[in-house]
Amino acid sequence: MSFTELVALGGLAILAFMVVLWLVSLRLKDASIVDIFWGPGFVLAVWLYFAAAPDGYAPRKLLAAVLTTIWGLRLGGYLAWRNLGRGEDFRYRAWREAHGPKWWWHSLFKVFLLQGAVMWLISAPLALAQFSSEPAAGTALDALGAALWGIGLFFEAVGDWQLARFKADPANQGQVMDRGLWRFTRHPNYFGDALVWWGLFLLAASAPWGWLTAVSPAVMTLLLRRISGVTMLERSLSRTKPQYADYIRTTSAFFPRPPREP
């Protein structure tokens, strides 16, 4: 199987995955289930690539698959714990109201197929890490990639845990989370997510033409920083929490650094 065929196979699998998920969302009347399955979708893709590309360098194949699986299942499990039973997310409810009776059809393209296309693009380094037989030895880029992945997972998982604990305390209702990792960046989970994908990219970077797959973490970082992550969330927080403006003035939006003086 050529690399082009492998990537095409991944695209078809992601397409089928998203169509099935869309059908489930119609039954549940909840398009936001797509968020829960974002991480697990990459787990599906990486193991498909793993099975369909038997000639790749086995230790790197396994490393990329295991790291992706840990990240994807943790994220999916956390979002399921946080979201299930609480109804459709406000972003999707707004779209549902705007499109009215035609939302069932629009949601296929606006939510599921769009996210599937982005997932397919971002999975490019996973496919190359599974496919390439070169270099046939561990490299410094492999070690650096695993290290970046570990730092990213720490920021993402610990940030989510700290926020969940903060929200669980009734005394913090309506307050701004500015403790722990959130003291150094307003979005440690998004920063960690981006770092995870730069780490996974490095596992493919040493392969021939591997640098081309840098588009994957670049797109992920753009989404998190400017489109569906920081920008969208902060627009909502600034409206609902007046004290959030002070938090913005003292704390970095994305890259961690010591807080400024108020």
Question: What pLDDT is attached to residue 242?
Answer: 81
Give me the percent of the chain exceeding a pLDDT of 70: 100
Question: What pLDDT is attached to residue 54?
Answer: 92
Question: What pLDDT is attached to residue 229?
Answer: 74
For the chain, the domains span 1-133, 137-262
For all residues of the chain together, what is the average pLDDT?
A: 94
Give the pLDDT band (50/70/90) at residue 1. confident
Cα–Cα distances (Å) from 210 to 36, 41, 77, in that order, read: 29, 22, 31
Of the candidates 55, 62, 48, 65, the residue with the CA atom closest to the CA atom of residue 9? 48
Residue 164 host element (H or E) = helix 140-168
Give the pLDDT band (50/70/90) at residue 202. very high
Write the pLDDT tens digit of every residue in 140-185.
Answer: 999 999 999 999 999 999 999 999 999 999 999 888 999 999 999 9
Question: What is the residue type of 184?
Answer: F
Of the candidates 213, 181, 182, the residue with the CA atom closest to the CA atom of residue 198? 213
Question: What is the residue type of 210?
Answer: G
Determine how many CB atoms are found less than 10 A away from the CB of residue 223: 18
Q: Is residue 231 over pLDDT 80? A: no
Write the pLDDT tens digit of every residue in 77-127.
Answer: 999 999 988 899 888 999 999 999 999 999 999 999 999 999 999 999 999
The two three-digit tokens of residue 16, written as one number: 């089928």
203 in Cβ contact with 141 (< 8 Å): yes
Question: What pLDDT is attached to residue 228?
Answer: 79
Q: Is residue 38 over pLDDT 80? A: yes
Query: Which whole number is the average pLDDT over 27-54?
Result: 96
Q: Is residue 240 over pLDDT 80? A: no
Question: What pLDDT is attached to residue 108?
Answer: 97
Say how many Å lie between the first and final Cα of the chain, rounded. 58
